[in-house]
Structure 1
Amino acid sequence: TLLLKSYQNYVRAWRQGLDRDRNGQLDYNEFKMAVKDVGFAGNARELWHQLDENGNGV
């Protein structure tokens, strides 16, 4: 996956790439920046909605 290629493991991906404010949660703005940083070519908002079905963040 793009996260593993960029960060070598999921823990590092979470800490360095996704949870940028280190509050233990992932909001859309953090997610949007992370997918851009790893070169995701798809629709970030659509992917976010698929992952965050209840709208509470991930």
Structure 2
Amino acid sequence: MKYFFLSEGWAVGRVWTVGGLWSETAWRRAPDIEKMNLCILDKNEKMWLHRVEDPVLMVEIYPTA
């Protein structure tokens, strides 16, 4: 498993693996990305810990607001 922090107000978009962009058709499922019950507060910014499965190399993020 791999972990990363994501600020509140941002969401995960596209996901990449070694073979390129994650394909739900090829993998027959969505990537396993889970928001954990742990966050860090830094200067009024809340950053949530996320867990992602090993095949994921990179995630695209975008603002939700």
TM-score, reference length from structure 2: 0.25
Larger % of strand: which?
2
Where relative contact order (Cα < 8 A, 6+ residues apart) is larger, the structure is: 2
Larger % of helix: which?
1
Name the larger-Rg structure: 2
